[in-house]
Chain A
Amino acid sequence: MTPVPLEDVFLAAAALFVVLAIAMFYRAIVGPTTQDRLLAVNVLGTNTVVILALLAAGLDQAWFLDVALIYALLNFLMSIAISKFTVERGDVL
């Protein structure tokens, strides 16, 4: 038998991911260049996607995965748009 319920494992992993995402705010606040902040926000967005997927499994709410999918899409578009925006007439891809 399993020592703890599987839902608790997912909720504990989600809590650890939240702690790591909060630690990432350090680089988003003090980062010397715009790209440092953008990179930190990008990693924060990926952590948010993972947290949403873990909560979908932990709380048994499968529709959270739709939110996570849309969030991943918007996160990618935001990173590309801002990194293109910071370069004057450059192509970053």
Chain B
Amino acid sequence: MIETIRFWAIVVLLGFGVLFTLVSTVGVIRLPDIYARAHTASQTDTLGAGFALAGVALAFGWQHAAVYTVLLLFFVFITNPTAAHAIARSAAETGVEPVLADEGAETDETETATETDGEP
């Protein structure tokens, strides 16, 4: 009974880990600029890796490998948002301009305007 509960808890934790990593992979590939990508990349580092490593720690049980895994989880939790912040700040200091929503709307309007101009 307790083994079945542990099994399904591990399956749910690993499923959430894969789900959050999938979301942030789609985000890093599809979002428009470095700042939005840094936001979604730090999401995979905290939630995706966090859930997956929690599943691993639960599978090891009371051994010192579980302590290693919790240490690894703690380390990943602290360092990866810091790294994403450093990357975004270095992008800001080297002059990468963020893509604003207003600019995107304007280009859409001009595109549709040129299309309606071109049609007649």
- CB within 8 Å for A92 and B17 given contacts A54-B56, A76-B79: no
Task: Flag if A6 contacts B41 (CB, 8 Å).
Answer: no
- CB within 8 Å for A17 and B34 given contacts A42-B83, A56-B56, A83-B86: no
Q: How many residues of chain B get a CB closer than 8 Å to chain A's CBs?
A: 51
- CB within 8 Å for A23 and B75 given contacts A17-B18, A50-B48, A53-B52: no
- CB within 8 Å for A90 and B90 given contacts A36-B34, A54-B56, A68-B72: yes
Q: How many residues of chain A get a CB closer than 8 Å to chain B's CBs?
A: 48
Cβ–Cβ < 8 Å partners of B38 in chain A: 39
**In the bound complex, how far is the Cα of B18 from the Cα of A66, in angstroms?**
23
Minimum CB–CB distance from A34 to chain B (whole Å) comes to 8
Annotate A20-63 by CB proximity to B: 1 below 8 A, 0 otherwise: 10011011000001111011101100110110011011000010
Q: Contact partner of B4 among A2, A39, A84, A92, CB < 8 A?
A: A2
Query: Which one of B91-99, B102-110, B112-120 is at the interface?
Result: B91-99
- CB within 8 Å for A6 and B89 given contacts A36-B34, A76-B80, A87-B94: no
**In the bound complex, how far is the Cα of B87 from the Cα of A34, in angstroms?**
10
- CB within 8 Å for A39 and B18 given contacts A23-B25, A90-B90: no
Residue of B nearest to A27 (CB): B28
Residue of B nearest to A7 (CB): B59
Minimum CB–CB distance from A60 to chain B (whole Å) comes to 9
Chain B residues in the interface with A (C-beta under 8 A): 3-4, 7, 10-11, 14, 17-18, 21-22, 24-25, 28-29, 34, 37-38, 41, 44-45, 48-49, 52-53, 55-56, 59-60, 63, 65, 68-69, 71-72, 75-76, 79-80, 82-91, 93-94, 96
- List 11 A-B residue pairs with CB atoms under 8 Å apart, sorted by A's residue number: A23-B25, A33-B96, A36-B37, A39-B28, A46-B44, A46-B49, A53-B69, A56-B65, A62-B65, A93-B82, A93-B85
